[in-house]
Amino acid sequence: MEIVILISQVLMALALILAFVRVVRGPSLPDRVVALELFASIVVGLVGLTAIQSDVSSFLDAAIVIALMGFLAAIGFARFLERGGPRDD
């Protein structure tokens, strides 16, 4: 089980790196918003893995909050894009 968790953590860290490359390179702001949303999902998964690894179920509360924040950030960015504000992407 330890090995499975370790492999999964490595895979998800790799996924974080790939998403971060898109955040840096992304040609426009919507691309970056999508990448940041993916970030939130991957971090929720990592927190779930940490809950399994350390046998502490309280980590799930953090996962709920992170998922909520990711959703709200996506909605906020979308409203900002549609309303049109000063942008520098």
Partner 1 sequence: MIEFIKGVFILSGALFMLLAALGILRLPDLLTRMHATTKAAALGVILIMLAVALHFGEVDVVARALAIIVFILMTAPVAAHVIGRAGYFVGSKLWSGTVKDELRPNYDPLTHELKSGMETEANARREPKESDPS
Whether the CB-CB separation of 31 and 89 falls below 8 Å is answered with: no
With CB under 8 A as the rule, give the number of residues binding partner 1.
49
Over the window 21 to 40, marking each residue x when it contacts partner 1 by CB under 8 A and - when it does not, the resulting string is: xx-----xxxx-xxx-xx--
Q: Is residue 81 near partner 1 by the rule CB under 8 A?
A: yes
Closest CA to 87 of 4, 19, 39, 29: 29
Which structure tokens are listed for 41? 């999902």
Q: Which residues of 52-66 are buried (b: 16+ CB within 10 A; e: fewer)?
A: eeeeeeebeeebeeb
In the complex, the residues that contact partner 1 under the rule CB under 8 A are 1, 4-5, 7-9, 11-12, 14-19, 21-22, 28-31, 33-35, 37-38, 41-42, 44-45, 48-49, 51-52, 57, 60-61, 63-64, 67-68, 70-71, 74-75, 77-79, 81-82
